[in-house]
Amino acid sequence: MATDKYIKNYINGALLPPDSGAYFDNYNPATGKVYSQIPDSDAKDVQLAVEAAERAFPAWSKTDVNTRFRILARIADIIEQNLEEFAKAETIDSGKPIKTSTTIDIPRAHQNIRFFATAVLHFASESHHMPGEAINYTLRQPIGVVGCISPWNLPLYLFTWKIAPALATGNCVIAKPSEMTPMTAFLLAKACMEAGLPDGVLNIIHGYGPKAGQAIVAHPKIKAISFTGGTETGKKIIQTAGPMFKKMSLELGGKNPNIIFADCDFDEMMIGTLRSSFTNNGQICLCGSRIYVERSIYDKFKTEFVKRTRFLKVGDPFSTVTDMGALVSKAHMEKVMSYLALAEVEGGTILCGGKPVKVKGEYEEGYYLSPAVIEGLPIGCRTNQEEIFGPVVTITPFDKEEEAIAMANGTQFGLSATVWTKDITRANRISEQLHAGIVWINCWLLRDLRTPFGGVKASGVGREGGLEALRFFTETKNVCVKY
């Protein structure tokens, strides 16, 4: 399954150039060099894709679930069989370490597809009996043509997380990956062709968000939008899709708290907190970027955490000893660095990191940054309120449980939260009060695909995962039969 220099759209079962014939550069963030070309697609390409999807829908929506399961499972198998190639493509596109692509991103992509392929076999609907009078039963029918738009941080992982439940429930899909990480979506198109997915059932459009993405959101025939990305983009999507009464699932930004109590298992917490702070260069919506530590262990925590952060190896994503590769783009690195400068203006002290790292040889022009730990910032400052989405965390001491909860809840976001304590009563009490869609106690990013996934407040609307995703991608209809 080869990666080509010219990426193509996948429309009506074929790999096509964009209608305009225009392409733009795809950078390898580890080297800072252009390595492939991305179709600059527009509304015309989306129109072609929608027409293909509409043609495919009557047959696909009526295809029995066993056949849908078999085709989707075949796609999952092809990804798994080509793990190395997919992982390599993901690493070149995103700058993340090859060990992350190989052990997290790509395995999760084929697991997503298999999970929803099998889930639909068990998907059932309810009936409500009115004794002696009538029976109500619920139909859950595919919506039609739906749009799936995903970000660059977990490219194939999040792309498949949306596409798989949409296809499994009988919808036809127009999907767009981020223009920064399109290659594994291109490989997915090839896998779908090899697996025999009928033409037009899945269509993948490449290009810029405000152009190709916006054309998907605004298309009148696309009836639902499943979007993962930034909160500001989410607002734009609501402005377009809201007045068109489209069904929407929006998974948006986070600024997640990590609350550490003195009674935690210190070693486990330290390993977990390093992971939740810097995995994927902090470019995961679920990373815990605000760390609150009970004052009695604050100094001990600070010393050990800074020591271990300094020890993290930043560099060549293809080296197996690398912990952190390149940030996804030059613009993103500049954005993260602007927050480091802001943190100092706001009164923070950078305890370690926050400096560009020069990696020798072919990686000299790559976008590398050493992981940063900042202390001494007020709770309400921008550094503590806005999503940075990079290898930057702030640490703050607290005295009382209520104070920690208030600080944790004190942003516009509400995606996830982590709590480290051996006191299970306290853990449950706090979980109830946190403004978050996901709470991890004494762990982080431990995922069961059956669980609901999503955020509150500015972190999103709706839930993905398990039955929630199957419900999102189906319309519910009640049929009442009097007897």
Contact window for ligand NDP (CB under 6 A) among 41-49, 176-184, 297-305, 469-477:
176-184
Site for ligand NDP in 66-105 (CB under 6 A): none
In the complex, the smallest distance separating the C-beta of residue 170 from ligand NDP, rounded to whole angstroms, is 24
The CA angle 34-209-384, to the nearest 5 degrees, is 90
Tokens encoding 236 = 């734009």
Which residue in 178, 258, 396, 411 binds ligand NDP (CB under 6 A)?
178
CA 86 to centroid of chain Cα atoms: 17
In the bound state with ligand NDP, the residue whose beta carbon lies nearer, of 186 and 389, is 389
In the bound state with ligand NDP, the residue whose beta carbon lies nearer, of 68 and 255, is 255
Catalytic residue among 90, 179, 251, 464: 251
**281 interacts with ligand NDP by CB under 6 A:** no
Contact window for ligand NDP (CB under 6 A) among 3-11, 111-119, 175-183, 418-426:
175-183
Contact window for ligand NDP (CB under 6 A) among 66-74, 295-303, 439-447, 455-463:
455-463
**387 interacts with ligand NDP by CB under 6 A:** yes
In the complex, the smallest distance separating the C-beta of residue 63 from ligand NDP, rounded to whole angstroms, is 28
**209 interacts with ligand NDP by CB under 6 A:** yes
Tokens 């499943």 locate to: 226
List strands edge to edge, sheet with 134-142.
127-130, 134-142, 474-482
In the bound state with ligand NDP, the residue whose beta carbon lies nearer, of 82 and 153, is 153
Whether 251 is a known active-site residue: answer yes
In the bound state with ligand NDP, the residue whose beta carbon lies nearer, of 82 and 231, is 231
* β-bridge partners, 16: 9
* CB-based closest residue to ligand NDP: 209
List strands edge to edge, sheet with 222-228.
14-16, 9-11, 202-204, 172-176, 145-149, 222-228, 247-251, 460-461
For ligand NDP (CB under 6 A), the number of binding residues is 33
CA 277 to centroid of chain Cα atoms: 16
In the bound state with ligand NDP, the residue whose beta carbon lies nearer, of 457 and 471, is 457
Site for ligand NDP in 106-165 (CB under 6 A): 149-153, 158
DSSP one-letter string for 82-114: THHHHHHHHHHHH---HHHIIIIIHHHHHHHHH
In the complex, the smallest distance separating the C-beta of residue 41 from ligand NDP, rounded to whole angstroms, is 10
Site for ligand NDP in 242-261 (CB under 6 A): 251-254
Contact window for ligand NDP (CB under 6 A) among 22-30, 95-103, 196-204, 206-214:
206-214
The CA angle 340-345-349, to the nearest 5 degrees, is 65
Query: How far is it, in rounded angstroms, from Cα 415 to Cα 254?
Result: 5
Contact window for ligand NDP (CB under 6 A) among 70-78, 166-174, 209-217, 472-480:
209-217
Alpha helices, DSSP H, located in 95-225:
98-100, 106-119, 155-168, 183-195, 214-218
**Spatial contact of 83 and 106, defined as CB atoms under 8 Å apart:** yes
- The 282-311 site mask, x for binding ligand NDP (CB under 6 A), equals ---x--------------------------
Nearest partner of 98 among 113, 110, 83, 111, judged by Cα: 83
In the bound state with ligand NDP, the residue whose beta carbon lies nearer, of 69 and 159, is 159
281 Cβ contact list (under 8 Å, min separation 6): 95, 96, 324, 325, 326, 327, 369, 371, 390, 391
In the complex, the smallest distance separating the C-beta of residue 401 from ligand NDP, rounded to whole angstroms, is 27
Which residue in 455, 462, 465, 466 binds ligand NDP (CB under 6 A)?
455
Whether 90 is a known active-site residue: answer no
> Taking the alpha carbons of 233, 239, 241, 245 in that order, is the dihedral positive or negative?
positive
235 Cβ contact list (under 8 Å, min separation 6): none
**Spatial contact of 447 and 279, defined as CB atoms under 8 Å apart:** no
In the complex, the smallest distance separating the C-beta of residue 64 from ligand NDP, rounded to whole angstroms, is 32
CA 387 to centroid of chain Cα atoms: 15
Residue 13, phi-psi category: left (phi > 0), alpha (psi -120 to 50), beta (remainder): left
Catalytic residue among 148, 192, 264, 285: 285
Site residues, ligand NDP (CB under 6 A): 149-153, 158, 176, 178-180, 208-210, 213-214, 217, 228-230, 233, 236-237, 251-254, 285, 387, 389, 415, 455, 459-460
* Residues designated as active site: 251, 285
